[in-house]
Amino acid sequence: MTATRGGEMRKPLMTQYNVEFSNEPGLHEKLTRLLINEKIDFQSMITSQVGGRTLIQFLAPKDQALRDQLDKMGITVREELIFRLEMPHHHWELHKLAKSLADKNINIISLYSVVDGDNMRIVLAVDQPANAVALIEKLGYDPDYSIYDREAII
């Protein structure tokens, strides 16, 4: 499950961690302290609430010790393989991507995006990463699993 770029295989470097726990003061602080104590170089953290639950998504290198610590804290954890791509910043392009994935029964789990001039950089998690990468390449985009580039990360 790697993407190609110029014939070179690119291996996944980052994982999207999805953590969920009860909405209690101090739990977010405990999570960020754990990330710091474990020296996890996390990126792009997003926090939201749904009902009485707090949901946090962040990008970080896959780390079994981190996963074990989150499990010990009683935090529900899900990990997703992610990749990035860049496309022209136009609503039709994003619709074309979403429709193409839907037409192949590929579900978008999460999508982060940032606009940079005339382009939009996207970090995407889907339920069928290998199939999505192949489809996105056919659409003329250049998906890449190696999203850990300080100048390019969202």
Distance separating alpha carbons of residues 97 and 135, to the nearest angstrom: 9
Pairing verdict, β 43-50 and 15-22 = unpaired
Domain residue spans in the chain?
15-80
**Which superfamily does 15-80 belong to?**
VC0802-like (3.30.2130.10)
For the cut 50, the answer to whether the pLDDT of residue 2 exceeds it is no
Q: What is the pLDDT of residue 62?
A: 87
CB 110 within 8 A of CB 44: no
H-type helices in 14-141, by residue range?
A: 27-37, 64-72, 91-103, 129-138
List, for residues 29-42, the tens digit of each pLDDT value.
888 899 999 899 88
CB 123 within 8 A of CB 154: yes
Distance CA(153)–CA(59), nearest Å, equals 10
Question: Is 0.85 topped by the overall pTM?
Answer: no
